[in-house]
Amino acid sequence: MSEVVSDASKIGKEKYPRLDSKIIQYGTAGFRTRAEDLPHVLYRMGLLAVLRSKSRTGAAIGLMITASHNPEPDNGVKLVDPKGEMLQQSWEKHATKLANASDNELDSVLLEIAEGESISWKIPALVVVGQDTRPSSMGLAQAALIGIKALGGEAKDYGVVTTPMLHYFVMCINTAGDYGEATEEGYFKKLCCAFVKLRGDKPDNGHYVPNIIFDGANGVGATKMKIGMVHLKNSLQVQLHNDGNGKLNDLCGADYVKLYQRAPSGIPHVPNARCVSVDGDADRIIYFYIDANDKFHMLDGDRMATLFAGYLMELVQKSKLDLQLGLVQTAYANGSSTSYISETLKVPVACVPTGVKHLHHKALEYDIGVYFEANGHGTVIFSDAATKRISTAAADSSLHADQKLAVERLKALMDVINQTVGDAISDMLIVETILHARGWSIQDWEATYVDLPNRQLKVVVKDRKVIQTTDAERQCVTPPGLQDKMNALVKNFPNGRSFVRPSGTEDIVRVYAEADTQQNADRLAAQVASVVHQLAGGVGSPPTVPE
């Protein structure tokens, strides 16, 4: 088999040589950088995906080409494990080592990984490939496909799809269709049919009106939402904007709305209208509206977490099923949301480091685990035991009417939810389901608790690794003295809280701050950013709060 590896290395050296010595790291979102620096990485990830599939006895492995919310010139790649989850952490090291090996080291690194993971070359390999709408994605997909073929793997190329759809396809294939049909049509049928069933024959209810304005970030989410609208029939009216005719993620999309706390470009000003923004690969979602006084209101991942957890807790209690529900957040979660969840909703809350893999892993500890990052990335996971219990109860004709209705709604919700990963389209349908069931407007939803004003800033540094954290990223360990200075600053602001963490993909440090007023949150963020710039090797000038 060393001949196959040698041939694969030769192809890589000839077609996709490593052109520079820049080190690239497999982070929370896989590899992500300028697209022109990635052809050799994509070829090598095709090779690694084949090895990963063989290591999992031929199970399908996903390979998604996307840079999500990043600017259009960027791109990236991440691998998806058999249950649609993020790549196992131990394999992230293999990915980093393989991507950074010299052309002459490629075959030896491949053989080293194969030997270290006790891989049998006789086992077949299947790699499922998807890409977003970036101009660079097609060429990078071709590099990955050539890599897969070079090492004897089989590739199933889905072309342009959302990232969550690719995760969903991997899960479907590896469950032999038990989770769903591994096609775009199957994806939309499963989610939308369950949504329409939950809605019934009355789209309106109370303060709820079945109309939304949708910002597609000029990405794949807009492309696929056009298909979803057909399946939704008349249950939900979607007014689509930033539908792909503009520049990807440029002054639009979920990350723009979250970071700058303003409406995206290209969205009509309709007072109090319920608006939705997704990001470039449609795995994040943010709700917002502009009131009659032109004030912007944002409902982010924290708001969705509380909405989901509260409604699911209500259904669990009415179903009388013995199921443990828990919610997982990161340090970015607004302090008011955490208090509301634990004190008002009485739902257990756990805090983990930033990154979907950490949230997903922790959520698996519950019968029903809800997880969300404040940026709008999240989903709900039902354990196998919970799934079986709910399905069995739904078939029990002896249940009391209220109990049976709760069980049936839980069962239908499991089909609306993409349990493999955060999915903007799926999450939107869940939000719309709950608002409809409660008869709530977006203002009713917002009124459940009052967010503490907050601000996020980015500090460009020479080396992000100088920042090290602990306690789920809420405390800074290095550089020395930084946390003490932050603590002193926080004491000057009522309800003050701040933390810093290094980016997983860029040499920047992210600063988060919250306080009793927006002015104080802005001041605290700017002051902490200045200290980070001073002690952590800042480049250029310290950041300022956007006007």
Task: Return the active site residues.
Answer: 68
Q: What is the DSSP letter of 461?
A: B
How far apart CA 349 and CA 328 sit, in angstroms, is 6
Query: Are 64 and 78 in contact, with CB atoms under 8 Å apart?
Result: yes
Cβ-Cβ contacts under 8 Å for 425 (sequence gap 6 or more)? 162, 164, 191, 221, 224, 225, 228, 278, 282
Burial of 152 (0-12, 13-18, 19+ CB in 10 A): middle
Q: Is the peptide bond between 479 and the residue preceding it cis, with omega within 30 degrees of 0?
A: yes
- 61-65 vs 154-160, strand pairing mode: unpaired
Q: Around Cβ 52, how many Cβ atoms within 10 Å?
A: 29
Mind giving me the DSSP string for 384-440?
HHHHHHHHHHHT-TTS-HHHHHHHHHHHHHHHHS-TTS--HHHHHHHHHHHHHHHT-
Query: Are 517 and 529 in contact, with CB atoms under 8 Å apart?
Result: no
The maximal CA–CA distance of the chain, rounded, in angstroms, is 70
Mind giving me the DSSP string for 211-234?
EEEEE-TTSHHHHHHHHHHHHHTT
Beta-strand ranges (E) seen in 135-205 are 154-160
How far apart CA 36 and CA 32 sit, in angstroms, is 11
How far apart CA 218 and CA 238 sit, in angstroms, is 16
How far apart CA 163 and CA 171 sit, in angstroms, is 13
How far apart CA 342 and CA 344 sit, in angstroms, is 6
